[in-house]
Structure 1
Amino acid sequence: MAVTDEAIARIQAMIVAGDLTPGQRLPPEKELSETLGLSRSSLREAVKALELIRVLDVRRGDGTYVTTLEPSLLHEAMSFVIDMHADASLIEMFEVRRILEPSASVMAIQHLDDERIAELRSMVDEVDESTTVEELVAHDLQFHARVIELSGNAYLASLLAALGSKTVRARIWRGLTEEKAVARTLQEHHAIVDALEKRDTELTRALVTVHVSGVESWLRRSM
């Protein structure tokens, strides 16, 4: 079990056991991490994941609380988790991305110049490992959209943008629950820009294929 998954499970166990009740404020981060025997970074990622599915409510400047856990509050978020694990169409969307996006990225090479390479380099340099998962996914969408736009095929760019928008929550969930997902994504973005700068079509195709396959492979393992 990944460390973040273990942290999620331990907080959930505290709620089930009644150690944390609806509306209750969680202990300070340092105290809770020591109680659970977890690193503070793992605890933070677990809190983000549980906030995403409406189990916890993070109030900036106040603290983190257990929500009311009312069925109506949890319904939408839990439906997403269930759908993510049961709906084959989500995997099919990632399959289409894996097939089309490497080719679109290769097509972009013929339209690249030093200014556009510098633009892509600047985009990936704007984020680092301190970036939140939500910010990283937003960056990921922007980065890929720009590369695909440079393919010169507006229809292909529109199709892949539509697919990308439907996979955002799955990508956030993976970033929150898979160890080192943020660091790995950033490394892969840098490698893709390096390959584009070299105008290396085969390396670009391979790197984008592996990169796009990451969430798809994680999703298949999770189902």
Structure 2
Amino acid sequence: MSLTDEAILRIRRLIQSGELPPGSRLPPEPQLAAQLGVSRNPLREAVKALVVARVLDVRRGDGTYVTSLEPRLLLEGLGLAVELLQDDTLLEIVEVRRLFEPVATGLAATRITDEQLAEVGEHLEAMRAASDDIEKLNRFDAAFHRAVVSATGNETLSTLLDGISSRTLRMRVWRGTVEANASHKTVAEHEAIYEALLARDATLAQAAALIHVSTTETWLRSVLGHVDGEEG
């Protein structure tokens, strides 16, 4: 382990132990270096790394603070990481979505409020109105799912699925462009999810979401298989 990695580990331990809770200010650099038993150069590099990771926040003229450590802050880099994945991992991303999103939708059915349900309904209406515009349709599609997952009240789950969906959005646009009647199928699948949420039926909501995600996954597998066959 490098000296910088060692400094990162020791700062993390201070945070995890509660000695440096969220929102707290780090001691001055000489004091912190002595406390951690590291020299100042590795400490500076460790602080830079933790700033990039949104664990620390440097405020000019004020000092360095521990951030709120909220899931959305710490995990917001996931979307960028997913965007950088190579195209041959797209199917893996869809598989991950299939594992998470139906369960999240089922959970949302047990927790969704009337106000949140109304928001989901508004996104569905927007999808219906934009059924002939693939780009708009998929933007409202993403907003629909974001509102559903938000209704779980689980910020970590919401952030993870946001990161995954950022990559699959373009793929859904692609599907809508090349597959006949895809937009009508998409709207119908979202209507089924909405009706299950309206009934507060977790099992039905999970099943409807699974069918929706699986439809896209099945289509993608067939397309990739066709491409591989042509290349072979």
Could you say whether these structures have the same fold, taking a TM-score greater than 0.5 normalized by the shorter chain as the test? yes
Cα distance 1:114–1:214, how it changes in 2: closer, same or farther (>3 A)? same
What corresponds to 2:138 in structure 1?
137
What corresponds to 1:220 in structure 2?
221
Cα distance 1:156–1:130, how it changes in 2: closer, same or farther (>3 A)? closer
Cα distance 1:130–1:156, how it changes in 2: closer, same or farther (>3 A)? closer
Aligned: 1:209 with 2:214: no
Bigger drift between 187-196 and 106-115 goes to 106-115
Cα distance 1:201–1:130, how it changes in 2: closer, same or farther (>3 A)? closer
Q: Alpha-carbon deviations, 1:73-115, whole Å to 9, x = none?
A: xxxxxxxxxx75xx1x110100010010011111112322323
Task: State the 1:202 CA deviation.
Answer: 1.2
What corresponds to 2:93 in structure 1?
93
Instruction: Letter of the 2:195 partner, please give it.
Output: D
What corresponds to 1:75 in structure 2?
none
What corresponds to 1:166 in structure 2?
167
Q: Alpha-carbon deviations, 1:41-84, whole Å to 9, x = none?
A: xxxxxxxxxxxxxxxxxxxxxxxxxxxxxxxxxxxxxxxxxx75
What SS does the aligned partner of 1:127 have? helix
Correspondence 1:173-212 to 2 at 5 A? 173-212=174-213
What SS does the aligned partner of 1:199 have? coil
- The gaps in structure 2 that reach 5 residues or longer are 1-85, 225-232
What corresponds to 2:102 in structure 1?
102
**Residues 104 and 152 of structure 2 are in contact (CA less than 8 Å); yes or no, is this contact kept in structure 1?**
yes
Task: State the 1:160 CA deviation.
Answer: 0.6
The CA RMSD measured in Å over matched residues stands at 1.4
The alignment-based identity, stated in percent, is 39
What corresponds to 2:153 in structure 1?
152
Q: Quick one: distance in 1 between partners of 2:131 and 2:147?
A: 23
Instruction: Letter of the 1:211 partner, please give it.
Output: H
Cα distance 1:142–1:182, how it changes in 2: closer, same or farther (>3 A)? same
**TM-score normalised according to structure 1 size:** 0.59
**TM-score normalised according to structure 2 size:** 0.57
- The gaps in structure 1 that reach 5 residues or longer are 1-82
Higher relative contact order (CA 8 A, sep 6+): 1
Instruction: Letter of the 1:97 partner, please give it.
Output: R
Q: Quick one: distance in 1 between partners of 2:170 and 2:123?
A: 22
Q: Quick one: distance in 2 between partners of 1:122 and 1:138?
A: 13
Task: State the 1:126 CA deviation.
Answer: 1.9
Q: Quick one: distance in 1 between partners of 2:136 and 2:192?
A: 20
Structure number, greater radius of gyration: 2
Task: State the 1:130 CA deviation.
Answer: 4.2
Q: Quick one: distance in 1 between partners of 2:173 and 2:126?
A: 19
What corresponds to 1:60 in structure 2?
none
Pairs aligned (count):
138
Task: State the 1:143 CA deviation.
Answer: 0.5
Bigger drift between 127-136 and 100-109 goes to 127-136
